[in-house]
């Protein structure tokens, strides 16, 4: 864009370059021409300035749109992260509450079980009949190669594999086939345990009570009492 002062100087130089040309124009006409040219130049300058202003406005509008979109995307991402954090906090609180509740239930269960075992111990274990005591004291332990021993091992294996129905049948068969076995106490406990696992809590209590009565010296007595206490808890007694 040509500066106004420079153009004016050029016009004067052209108008008054020689004496012959200077004679063609008087001062009034020369000034009139200059004013007209200046008006054209000013008009062109204004048009150029307007175009520049419009272009600048368009650039600013585009920048604003772009910036707004970026900010909007960032805002959406932040909101999503906030929601995720809130969800995780909620899950953490629920998990912590569940752990606390589980620990309290376990504590209550252990306390209740211990109390029930103590009550059973305070009641005492009824003495076994003479015949049962004599049978328990004189019957030797069977060899590992006998069907008697192998049948009990089969029942124990089924119980460990959580095949409680099959284990129950195996223990029941053992006690019917070998009622006076030195392993009868263990089989009786196993039978009561499978009844508990099958949710036959009343039957389990009866079976374990039988173990306490017939085999008061058996190492399985404490386990039987614990099993009885758990059955009573399940029955709400």
- CA 93 vs. chain centroid, Å, equals 11
More confident residue, 36 or 207: 207
- Host domain of residue 195: 125-235
Q: What is the pLDDT of residue 130?
A: 36
Rounded to an integer, what distance in angstroms lies between the CA atom of residue 220 and that of residue 227?
10
Confirm if 214 and 179 have CB atoms less than 8 A apart. no
pLDDT in tens, 150-175: 999 999 999 999 999 999 999 999 99
Q: Is residue 86 situated within a structural domain?
A: no
Interacting residues of 45 by C-beta distance below 8 A, sequence separation 6+: 1
Q: Is residue 107 situated within a structural domain?
A: no
Same domain, yes or no: 136 and 222: yes
CB neighbours (10 Å) of residue 153?
Answer: 13
The DSSP call for residue 139 is P
Give start and end residues of each alpha helix (H) in the chain. Answer: 4-15, 19-22, 27-123, 130-138, 147-160, 164-177, 184-197, 201-214, 221-235
pLDDT in tens, 78-108: 888 888 888 887 777 777 666 666 566 656 6
Q: Is residue 97 situated within a structural domain?
A: no
- The answer, as to whether pTM is greater than 0.85, is no
- What is the total count of domains within the chain? 2
Above 60 in pLDDT, residue 210? yes
pLDDT in tens, 28-83: 777 777 777 878 888 888 888 888 888 888 888 887 777 777 777 788 888 888 88
Rounded to an integer, what distance in angstroms lies between the CA atom of residue 237 and that of residue 231?
9
Rounded to an integer, what distance in angstroms lies between the CA atom of residue 34 and that of residue 15?
10
Q: Is residue 82 situated within a structural domain?
A: no
Q: Is residue 224 situated within a structural domain?
A: yes
């Amino acid at each position: 864009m040509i500066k106004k002062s420079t153009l004016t100087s050029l016009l004067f130089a052209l108008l008054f370059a020689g004496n012959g040309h200077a004679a063609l124009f008087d001062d009034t006409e020369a000034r009139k021409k200059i004013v007209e040219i200046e008006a054209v130049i000013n008009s062109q300058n204004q048009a150029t300035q307007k175009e520049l202003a419009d272009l600048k406005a368009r650039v600013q509008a585009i920048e604003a749109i772009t910036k707004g979109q970026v900010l909007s995307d960032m805002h959406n991402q932040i909101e999503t992260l906030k929601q995720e954090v809130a969800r995780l906090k909620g899950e953490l609180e629920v998990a912590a509450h569940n752990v606390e509740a589980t620990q309290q239930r376990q504590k209550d269960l252990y306390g209740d079980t211990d109390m029930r075992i103590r009550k059973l111990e305070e009641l005492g274990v009824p003495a076994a009949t003479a015949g049962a005591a004599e049978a328990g004291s004189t019957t030797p332990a069977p060899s590992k190669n006998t069907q008697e021993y192998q049948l009990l091992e089969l029942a124990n294996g089924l119980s460990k594999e959580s095949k409680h129905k099959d284990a129950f049948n195996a223990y029941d068969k053992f006690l019917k086939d070998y009622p006076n076995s030195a392993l009868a106490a263990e089989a009786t406990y196993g039978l009561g345990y499978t009844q508990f696992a099958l949710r036959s809590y009343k039957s389990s209590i009866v079976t374990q009570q039988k173990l306490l009565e017939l085999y008061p010296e058996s190492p399985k007595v404490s386990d039987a009492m614990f099993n009885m206490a758990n059955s009573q808890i399940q029955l709400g007694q």
